[in-house]
Amino acid sequence: MSALLNLKNVHAYYGAAHILHGLDLHVNPGERVALIGRNGVGKTTVVNTILGLASLQDGHVAFGGKAHTKLRAYMAAQHGIAVIPQGRRIVANLSVEENLILGAAVGRKGPWTVAEIYKLFPILQERAHTPGTALSGGQQQMLAVGRALMANPELILLDEPTEGLAPVIVDQLAVIFNQVAEQGTALLLIEQNMSLVVRVAKRYMAMAKGAIVAQGEVVNSRDGLHDLERHVMV
């Protein structure tokens, strides 16, 4: 079975700044993986490297078993990988529904349609013709999730999806992420909220100084939570 996503010995840069140092990472079909670590260790750079926004200088990134050393932003989407970016990045001049439709631009067929997204997030249907940026933070995150699902992806990269959100919204998102995963979509969850990680992920990789320094099974318990928190403090 080929991994949906495989980064091998990746060295990535922003200009002259060397951020990722020989990073190895993979996500298999249907997996729920968490990428954890302190601020500044390179977690978002992993996403930016996959999207071709950081400069890949050595190593390769493989989508569905096909390795690439020169990446472009469209490649991940073509291979069934969608991104929920840090900060949500809702398109300001589009309505809620138009933002959702934008997510389907890659043209992949599958179960996720605007109607199905509205079943998942009824509040988005209520505000379908409202500018996307007029929504609350929690509603914008729901819109970002819905937009990613509209691509009918095999894998979703979630970059700090709970940043700045109230605990009640985080609880709602945990339920949604599990529902999506149970339908077969793989998740790579980049997150500092360890209580969310233990509720959603099954495997973790901990980063420090631009590389993976520990990995293992996620245990949904108080001891499991403390173990993950210890890795984040590395």
Q: At 155, which CATH number? A: 3.40.50.300
* Tokens representing residue 28 in the block: 């298999």
pLDDT for 234 beyond 80:
no
Which residue segment(s) compose the domain that 42 sits in? 29-53+73-232
Please tell me the predicted confidence (pLDDT) of residue 150: 95
Please tell me the predicted confidence (pLDDT) of residue 1: 63
Q: Is residue 222 part of a domain?
A: yes
Interacting residues of 128 by C-beta distance below 8 A, sequence separation 6+ = 95, 96, 97, 118
CA dihedral 169, 139, 150, 73 (to 10 degrees): -90
Q: Could you report the per-residue pLDDT of 74-93, keeping only the tens digit for each?
A: 889 889 999 998 888 898 88
Round to whole Å and give the CA distance between 228 and 48. 24
Residues 154-165, mean pLDDT to the nearest whole number? 91
Give the ranges where 51-166 is alpha helix by DSSP (H): 73-78, 96-103, 114-120, 122-126, 137-149
- By C-alpha distance, which of 210, 227, 226 is closest to 38? 210
Round to whole Å and give the CA distance between 77 and 94. 21
* Tokens representing residue 38 in the block: 């302190």
Q: Is residue 134 part of a domain?
A: yes
Please tell me the predicted confidence (pLDDT) of residue 48: 94
- By C-alpha distance, which of 74, 50, 57 is closest to 17? 57
Please tell me the predicted confidence (pLDDT) of residue 233: 65
Please tell me the predicted confidence (pLDDT) of residue 228: 80
Can you tell me which residue has the tokens 């988005």?
A: 124
Please tell me the predicted confidence (pLDDT) of residue 222: 76
Q: Is residue 93 part of a domain?
A: yes
Number of structural domains the chain divides into = 1
pLDDT for 2 beyond 80:
yes
Q: Is residue 184 part of a domain?
A: yes
Residue 195: what residue type?
S
Q: For 160, left (φ over 0), alpha (ψ -120 to 50), or beta?
A: left
Please tell me the predicted confidence (pLDDT) of residue 103: 92
- By C-alpha distance, which of 179, 143, 145 is closest to 159? 145
